[in-house]
Amino acid sequence: MKVHSIILGSAAGGVNTGDILYQLLAFLILLVLLRKYAWSPLMSIMKERKDYVTNEIDSAENSRKEAERYLEEQIEELKKTREEAKAIIDNAKKQSEVQGEAIIKASRDEAERVKEAALAEIASEKEKAVATLRQEVAALSVKIASKVIAKELDESSQEKLINEYLQEVGESR
């Protein structure tokens, strides 16, 4: 209760209007000084801070938009690169098919040429063999005829002589 009575003590003694006026005047002067020296600089600092934050947000937004634009450009470049790579691969496949067909055709042509050359050589050898055989048969026929004429044999002797010459020809082959 003593604390309470101390605070109320000044009030109990009466109201001192001079002190109130003095304190009111001091408060108003303090308020004007605070407004002039503290409030205005504080508000300008707050405005600068607001402008700085706004600029940073705008800058971040611009950077984000630039990054999105760059990402879209990179995606388009990647699509173009993929299309070019696909075109190159398709072109290489077509060229390899054409080259493969050309190689196969060249191989077939070469095989046909070798086959024709072999057939021509076989025909030539066959003709040579037939000609040689004809010469031998003609020579044997002449020998047989000359011996037959020379001996003038009877029919059984002639047949025996022909068989002997045929055996000789068979053995000489």
CB 144 within 8 A of CB 161: yes
Global pTM reads: 0.40
CB 139 within 8 A of CB 168: no
Q: Is the pLDDT of residue 142 over 60?
A: yes
pLDDT (tens digit, 9 = 90+) per residue, 46-90?
999 999 999 999 999 999 999 999 999 999 999 999 999 999 999
**CA-CA distance, 146 to 152, in Å (whole number)?**
10
**CA-CA distance, 40 to 32, in Å (whole number)?**
11
